[in-house]
Structure 1
Amino acid sequence: AKLAAFGGWSMPLEYTGSVKEHTAVRAGVGVFDVSHLGKAVVRGPGAAAYVDSCLTNDLSRIEPGKAQYTLCCNDNGGVVDDLIAYLRGDDEVFLIPNAANTSEVVRLLRGSAPDGVEVVNQHREYAVLAVQGPASDETLDAMGFPTGHEYMSFVEVEHRGGPVVVCRTGYTGERGYELVVPHDGAVAVWDAVLAAGADHDIVPAGLGARDTLRTEMGYPLHGQDLSPTITPVQAGLGWAVGWKKKSFWGRDALATEKQAGPTVSLRGLVASGRGIPRAGMTVSADETQLGVVTSGTFSPTRRVGVGLALLATSVVDGADVHVDVRGRREAFTVSKPPFVTPGGIRGS
């Protein structure tokens, strides 16, 4: 594998090539080592209610055994991190933040935790393996793992005497699962996944393919499309905010911005020619700068450049714009993500 530093971890960028790995996930199945993702647990009397009072989404909408995408915001409404909350019960919530933000999320939650509620950083105690693609069910079936449970739900099982959490979650847009495994059992589970998926031509996949897969779906990446200065309202993530809740971090600022309307919003871009957008490139029309690219790549599925950009809200879907690609004005169309249809059927 080709390794690179990411979020303080040495992570595989690719094994046999990002395009090959990307295609395998769209058409069959791939497995990612995403153990750099954070892990933390909040437990104690009223732990779920406490988490609900801090993070944006409404945890009361789900029941134990379900997971929820949510956001940790600052007082200005900016996103400190986006994360998944796994509700185990009223007194325990398991969290998976982003790698680089785990310590800050834990620090913030510890800072206002009520007596009896503890927040434990378990970043190095667990590995996370993501089995993604149309053949992910068949792969896990061959291991004897549960499959077919509802999206954003999880089941806890044993594998060779050790616990494994089988989550119906992912970051690719394809059907898939994420396996949370104690670190000392991770290699055995990785090997078992590869063996079980051999009949479906499973491939190990790296962060390069993970990034092109998520960009094709228009999924935001913290640090680029989300940040402490980019809010959920601007990023189109109002659905992940419990607007009727009495309190959560950043509530007042977000409610004010929602009512007034944001001045910028996260939008999709599709190249009309051969241009490939990259983060930081400017977007303009008629010599007027409209915003900046936050994520961009070549789409292996569409065979064109696609990306996300923070643009003035006056820009409408279907608008023709230009991206400054290394001094060249490349034509793009503002398009609503996702840019592909998962499950083996390709977007147009």
Structure 2
Amino acid sequence: MQDGPQHGPLHEHHVASGARMADFGGWSMPLEHAGGGVVAEHRAVREAVGLFDVSHLGTVRVRGAGAAAFVNSCLTNDLGRIAPGKAQYTLCCTQGGGVVDDMLAYLVSDDEVLTIPNAANAGRVAGMLADAAPAGVEVLDEHREHAVLAVQGPEADGVLHALGLPVGADAMSWVEASWRGRPVLVCRTGYTGEQGYELLPRWEDAEDLWDAALEQVRARDGRACGLGARDTLRTEMGYALHGHELSTDVTPVQARLGWAVGWDKPTFWGREALLAEREAGPARRAWGLLAQGRGVLRADLPVLSADGEPLGTTTSGTFSPTLGVGVGLALLDASVARDDVVAVAVRSRSIACRVVRPPFVPDRTRG
């Protein structure tokens, strides 16, 4: 067993370039790159283009006769809603309705599905699928077979065009392509709220593709970006992060992810518990918090009413480089309503926040 965090295909490359590394889900990944910082990287994505290494994300392939139907009987969303060549956001739940992980599922055919779970949960998701798989369906953990590079921002199309990769696909779609004769999956997906792509080359091709893509990114006033900027970008969009907005103690109903549940499907893990919670109404719901003055929100802070009564807890928080104020996400009592003003306790003071529905900035994923 490896001591310490695992290393992706670009680890030594990032270290040599001066990137600041940190542990993400058991993998050593760039928090920020040299010569910029989180705010500069964040703004590059909103204004031009950024290149992320997210190869810590898992890749779990399910294949065999009826593989898509099998996956559909396990995960929450309905694969029957999409065609081959499309992607779908979905959830893996416990029978009690808690979220083991959220992920993208890429439908290849009736007999093959590729899923991209989070780094820390990839092994558990693969194990749950493997344990449930019928004869003739195999579950392959391909975590070290594919790198994942994200090109995100208004200039993303230009980067891909310069690389000779297909552009202009509809959101949540993917295509098999090649770059310099090497296979790469081009996916019209991302986690920033900007138009962009995720590229899945072979593990051994990652460094060459990274260097070529970064050259084109820099030519468009963009930069390499770390997972610090990825977090501020996704928080501005209100996107859930497992371990914060999602966990086995948080359900899709509470997280406002009912749109990612195929409620009419006859079976999926957690179905009965989620149907019951939807019918009764959840005791708490996900909200956004917009600071009304100075102060930066963080995760795990108490949220209080004007009278000091506990209402819930923040799940994420940051300073929004786009808005210039503090923003956060929280799980709050069902009595809380949009535009309520609440107080977030930060050490010896409190920050007044308005309750809002994210995103905090415009969604440009379909630009």
User: What band does the TM-score fall into relative to the shorter chain?
Assistant: over 0.9
Query: Which of 306, 312, 329 is 1:308 aligned to?
Result: 329
1:343 positional shift:
4.7
- 1:124-203 alignment, distance < 5 Å: 124-203=144-223
1:342 positional shift:
4.3
Q: What's 1:332 paired with?
A: 353
1:271 positional shift:
0.2
SS in structure 2 opposite 1:108? helix
Q: Distance in 1 between matches of 2:131 and 2:243?
A: 23
Query: Which of 325, 342, 359 is 1:321 aligned to?
Result: 342
Residues 113-147 of structure 1: CA deviation (Å, up to 9, x unaligned): 00010000001111000000000001111111101
SS in structure 2 opposite 1:54? coil
TM-score scaled by structure 2? 0.93
Q: Distance in 2 between matches of 1:209 and 1:304?
A: 16
Q: Distance in 2 between matches of 1:342 and 1:201?
A: 22
The ranges of structure 1 where at least 4 consecutive aligned residues each deviate by more than 6 angstroms after the TM superposition are: none
- Kindly indicate whether residue 233 of structure 2 is the aligned counterpart of residue 233 of structure 1: no
Q: Distance in 2 between matches of 1:58 and 1:342?
A: 24
- Kindly indicate whether residue 97 of structure 2 is the aligned counterpart of residue 66 of structure 1: no
1:282 counterpart letter in structure 2: P
Q: What's 2:58 paired with?
A: 38
Residues 31-76 of structure 1: CA deviation (Å, up to 9, x unaligned): 0000000001000000000000000000000000000000000011
Q: What's 2:309 paired with?
A: 288
Q: Distance in 2 between matches of 1:71 and 1:94?
A: 14
When the two chains are superposed, the root-mean-square deviation of aligned CA atoms in Å is: 0.9
1:199 positional shift:
2.5
1:289 counterpart letter in structure 2: P
Q: Distance in 2 between matches of 1:162 and 1:306?
A: 42
SS in structure 2 opposite 1:127? coil
- Kindly indicate whether residue 362 of structure 2 is the aligned counterpart of residue 341 of structure 1: yes
- Provide structure 1 residue ranges, at least 5 long, that are not aligned to the other structure: none
Q: Distance in 2 between matches of 1:170 and 1:327?
A: 38
Q: Distance in 2 between matches of 1:225 and 1:326?
A: 22
1:313 positional shift:
1.1
- Kindly indicate whether residue 271 of structure 2 is the aligned counterpart of residue 251 of structure 1: yes
1:341 positional shift:
1.4
Query: Is the Cα contact below 8 Å between 2:51 and 2:217 reproduced in 1?
Result: no
Q: Distance in 2 between matches of 1:200 and 1:187?
A: 20
Q: What's 1:112 paired with?
A: 132
Query: Which of 260, 264, 277 is 2:297 aligned to?
Result: 277
